[in-house]
Amino acid sequence: MTVVFTCLDADTLGGVQQVTHTLAQGLARRGHEVHVIGLQRAAAPFRYVDRPLYHHHVVGGRPAAGALARRRADRRLRALLGEIGPGYAVMTSPSVVARAARLLPGSLRPIGQYHGSYDHARDCWHLASIRRHYPGLDQAVFLSEDDARLFSEHALLPNASALPNPLAAWPAEMSVLESPRVLGVGRLEAVKRFDRLITAFARSGAPEPWELHLIGDGGELERLRAHARSQGVADRVVFRGRVPAADLPAEYLRASVLGLTSEYEGLPVVLLESAAHGVPAVAFDVSGGVRSAGPVLVPPGDVDAFAVELGRLVDDEEERRRLGADARARVEAFRLGHVLDRWESLFAHIER
């Protein structure tokens, strides 16, 4: 079959992009014809797959381009989609659905994804856009059963279903959980709230030589450095910068706990990857996707409760091992082959 994934930006470092390229490569390996389309060009392209078996297209310029450039990009998109032939068009966000659904030829069956949670959608413009544009699609796809149910009830979607993010690879090795290291992974931007993770680490009572390692880059770097100084842990918070995707497994193997303090999350791949390496996590309970990955949950925004659970895992190696093994068993369901099976079943369901 033919599957087309369309992203606003297919090549920036981010969870939507990582999941899109992982699914595209997996489906292409199964013999399907797969296309990944970016509506705009990334300022700093990130390469997710070394040898892609799928077709990759960029139809537009930089995000700052004006209305005329966007109309030209839409004409290129319409022409490209018309050449691709019958199959399924997976649009990866509300903004893509609003823009691209009207350009699809009748030969491509429309599917709308949403990579956030219901709570996030409700707190911004996403929910109104989903209510307006998703009911007319053949399928609306969300990251967890909880979120699919909430969207079905509150956005009046008769076509809501759940398909989780996949793990690109399944590690043969697990962390031994002996390294005195707490890990945080993600863009250093405000929504990820790494300031909360730094505060929780400072309040957790983690003794030396325990350190907090933050992997990622972004506009919050200097503010987070200053925050670590204000919390008295500047010498124990290590800003690692961007780490190539191929090197991330080694980072999980050197970690003993993962911290996730985001304001909003759908189903973060970092939570799945850490669990697959047997690393237990502490996370704010912000979505059904987060719950499905099996971390230790604390109320959203409760930094003191987060610090208590973080300190408990730092102090108790046996508990880390128990929770890490449980997490790895739970995320077996997110292995790429299982998720690809579910996508193929979804396509078959639409065809019927």
CB atoms inside a 10 Å sphere around CB 335: 17
CA–CA dist 240, 33 (Å, integer): 38
pLDDT of 64 higher than 80 = no
The residue type found at 18 is Q
pLDDT of 151 higher than 80 = yes
Residues 104-138 pLDDT 10s: 999 999 999 999 999 999 999 999 999 999 999 99
pLDDT (0 to 100) of residue 117: 95
Residues 249-273 pLDDT 10s: 999 999 999 999 999 999 999 999 9
Within 50-92, residue ranges assigned H as helices are 67-84
- Containing H/E element for 349? helix 336-351
pLDDT (0 to 100) of residue 110: 98
CB atoms inside a 10 Å sphere around CB 79: 11
pLDDT mean over 36-50 = 91
Tell me the two tokens of residue 3: 């599957």
pTM, to two decimals? 0.91
Q: What angle do CA 293, 299, 300 make, to 5 degrees?
A: 85
Domains, the chain, ranges and CATH?
2-166+335-351 (3.40.50.2000), 181-333 (3.40.50.2000)
DSSP state of 235: G
The residue type found at 317 is E
Residues 307-324 pLDDT 10s: 999 999 999 999 999 999
The residue type found at 142 is F
CB 21 within 8 A of CB 48: yes
CA–CA dist 116, 102 (Å, integer): 23
pLDDT mean over 281-306 = 96
Share of the chain above pLDDT 70, in %: 99
Instruction: Give the confidence band of 14 by pLDDT, cuts at 50, 70, 90.
Output: confident
